[in-house]
Chains A and B, each alone.
Chain A
Amino acid sequence: MPANRSPISFSTLLVYVALGVAAFAFLLPLAWMVSTSLKPLNETMSVPTRWIPSTIRWENYPEAIAEMRYFWRYAANSLWICLLSVIGTVTSSALAAYGFSRIEWRGRDKVFLVLLATMMIPFPVVMVPIYGFFKELGWIGTFKPLWVPAFFASAFNVFLLRQFFLGLPRDISEAARMDGCSEFGIFVRIILPLCKPALLVVALFQFLYSWNDFLGPLIYLTDQRDFTLALGLQSFQSQSGGTAWHHLMAASTLVLLPVIVLFFFTQKSFIQGIATSGSKQ
């Protein structure tokens, strides 16, 4: 930073004001959610809004958990599905991305175009046949439809990892090949260790996806005790029918909290990964 700063110009001031207003607007809903989650019920309805409740009701949280009945089971279900999906997508997408970037084979780039094209197929279009397929396997009402597909690589994750793999110099693979290392050996011992940050990004994206997914659990899960947190929150909302807002906001905060915590620990990778997703090489 220069020792003698020039006085802030008018246009810079304008930028700060605009950023400040926007940041305030973006934070307000979150603040309101937390504020509502700590109020007694009657104060949620007060106009004008009472930002700081007269008494901070931490009890709203245990009450909301109790009202959702299976809250901890939902949480365990969500975590289990997330864990399996993350393992599945990281391994399978890394394998596929390697095949699309570090080995030269005839027709490779044409097949990769096919992969990119699949990203345009909306899930609702294929939802019915896939549902029928899982039904024939007897998987409806189990977690399997929610995590097994992750073991077959997702196009978006392959795309992301390929970007990273292409960035590594060719020579390192060539040198290992000279030494008689197998292709799989190069993948496991050389490329993967160099790409840990990229693998973390893919793991994070998949975790978020599975944690947030609503349509999948909605159609595949049948027993309330098998619900994920997202689906459990929706069923709680439709039961309480827009009255107990303090409990709904407490429950929402609890569903959001793990995501926020995860984000703050891995912020750099997150932002890096999203920035990469928009770059075409």
Chain B
Amino acid sequence: MNPSERRNLRNGLLFISPWVIGFLTFCVYPVIKSFYLSLCDYSILSPAVFTGWQNYVELAGDEVFWTAVSNTLFFAVFAIPLGLLLSLALAVLLNANVRGRGVFRTIFFLPSLVPMVCLAVLWQWMLNGDVGLVNEALRVPLNAINSLLGSELRPPNWLSDARYAKWGLIFTMLWGVGNSVVIFLAGLQDVPVHLYESAEMDGANFPQKLWHITLPTISPVIHFNLIMGLIGSFQVFAVPYVMTGGGEGPGRSMLFLATYLYQNAFEFWNMGYACAIGFVMFVIILTLTLLANKLSERHVFYAGK
């Protein structure tokens, strides 16, 4: 290394030193400690006692844990694709040459600014079985069907019905897709116009252009939003927690991995067990992200590569 290289190395490390300290304190140390604690019986009040894989063995036989896993998977499986579809559709609409694009974009973006707790309180009210706005809107088509077929369809009591509670949560989250709308729109605006022009000369229609030009070109953005959705969905906590009044919903239908982790850590003071849940969550997120990256190697198109 010559002197200028050495100086640059020293300066570079100095500049990133705040992050390095934070990385070691709030990332490396806790991850290692958390893994160690997941192998311990630990209640924070008394020192941790090493118990080996005991916590993981218990998890495997813990019915509540599996409920949390299946609830979390259910939520992710529906919320992520629906969120991507909705935000992409809205972005494509906005990207059409419309007037007032700025106003529409602001309207779609606003709900994503609503703090989690407000979001939960507001949608608890929206989804109220008797007087909620969602059911008032649903009653119109349902009544029409009822009078036509003589059936007795009634809108569900969303959050107090184990079959529908998670759907209520999914709708709530869909309202906050504004972030990805903005990201998608930025991606769409970077699609070179000449690609569309030459496709139009060849007589391509809208679906063809969407499928053969738009989607391949913005595939890196889809990939980004997918990963963000994955990471967010698997740690969903605040909204279901507040919506259920600090609980787990009817028949544990709103108990998610992060909720169960929180309960074990701060309600049962079973912190080693909580760490084990955390590691399972981590492994799931990691596996799915790597899987998404693998898929993207085949399907995502990066300009210039």
Contacts and interface: CB of A to CB of B under 8 A. Distances in A.
B278 A230 contact: no
A126 B289 contact: no
A115 interface: yes
A10 interface: no
Contact of B11 (A49, A99, A219): A99
Interface residues of A, number: 95
B286 A120 contact: yes
A214 B240 CA distance: 12
Interface string A250-281: 00100110011001000100110011111110
Interface in B198-253: 206, 220-221, 224-225, 231, 234-235, 237-238, 241-242, 245-246
Interface in A196-222: 208, 211-212, 214-215, 219
Interface centre among B33, B278, B281, by most A CB within 10 Å? B278
Contacts of B34: 125-126, 128-129
Interface residues of B, number: 95
A211 B115 contact: yes
Interface of B: 1, 5, 8-9, 11-19, 21-23, 25-27, 29-31, 33-34, 37, 44, 90, 93-94, 96, 98, 104-111, 113-118, 120-126, 130-131, 133, 136, 175, 179, 182-187, 206, 220-221, 224-225, 231, 234-235, 237-238, 241-242, 245-246, 257-258, 261-262, 265-266, 271, 274-275, 278-279, 281-282, 285-286, 289, 302
Given A129-B37, A130-B26, A151-B18, A267 B106 contact: yes
Nearest to A49: B136
B12 A99 contact: yes
B18 A124 contact: no
A149 interface: yes
A108 B16 CA distance: 10
Contact of B126 (A11, A32, A153, A237): A32
Interface of A is mostly: helix
A274 B183 contact: yes
Interface of A: 11-12, 15-16, 18-19, 22-23, 26-30, 32-33, 36, 44-49, 92-93, 95-96, 98-100, 103-106, 108, 111, 114-115, 118-133, 135, 149, 151-153, 155, 158, 183, 187, 208, 211-212, 214-215, 219, 230-231, 233-234, 237-238, 241-242, 245, 248-249, 252, 255-256, 259-260, 263, 267, 270-271, 274-280
Interface centre among A16, A208, A231, A274, by most B CB within 10 Å? A274
B125 A96 contact: no
Contact of A104 (B8, B14, B113, B115): B8
Given A152-B25, A249-B125, A259-B113, A108 B108 contact: no
A278 B94 CA distance: 17
Nearest to B11: A183
Given A27-B110, A128-B34, 16 more contacts: A22-B108, A26-B107, A45-B130, A118-B23, A122-B258, A125-B31, A151-B22, A212-B117, A215-B262, A233-B118, A249-B121, A256-B113, A259-B113, A259-B115, A271-B109, A275-B185
